[in-house]
Amino acid sequence: MARWLFKEEPDHYDFASLVRDRRTLWDGVSNNLALQNLRRVQSGDNVFFYHTGKQKAVVGVMRVVSDPGPDPEGEDEKSVVVEVEPVRLLSRPVTLAEIKADAALKGWDLVRLPRLSVVPVTDAQWRRVEEISRTAT
């Protein structure tokens, strides 16, 4: 099982919307590297839900419930989508500022490639984000 981080603008679709909808297709990925990453995602993988924009924080955990497939509404034949469902909110959001300040997370693609919307997460990075989410601010 792999781990990932998917980014979304909360004004467009936020974690609360995913909880309400129970499932959604994760689409709209156009960057070539992000698409390569999305093609590697598999059903059962865990994903951090990251709010971009003003919040810039990891806010929740999702589970992938379908392997990548063609975007049913996409005009680009290279586009792929996966279906995701919510697992839980984090104890508290983990901000990008906290991630950048943490020595264990400085080399993460989330920090190095800030425009990338689908980012791999190592087991160590996953554990560290979970640890930070359980600490008081």
Mean of the per-residue pLDDT values for the chain?
A: 95
The Cα 124–Cα 78 span in angstroms is 31
Helix (H) or strand (E) holding 34: helix 32-40
Helix (H/G/I), strand (E/B), else coil: 20: helix
* 62 within 8 A of 121, measured Cβ to Cβ: no
Hey, what amino acid is at 48? F
Q: State residue 75's pLDDT score.
A: 78
CATH number of the domain within which 12 lies: 3.10.590.10
Mean pLDDT of 110-137: 95
Tell me the pLDDT tens digit for each residue of 16-43: 999 999 999 999 998 999 999 999 999 9
Average pLDDT (90-119) is 96
CB atoms within 10 A of CB 129: 24
Q: How many domains does the chain have?
A: 1
* 1: confidence class by pLDDT, cuts 50, 70, 90: confident
Q: Give me the domain span that covers residue 43.
A: 3-133
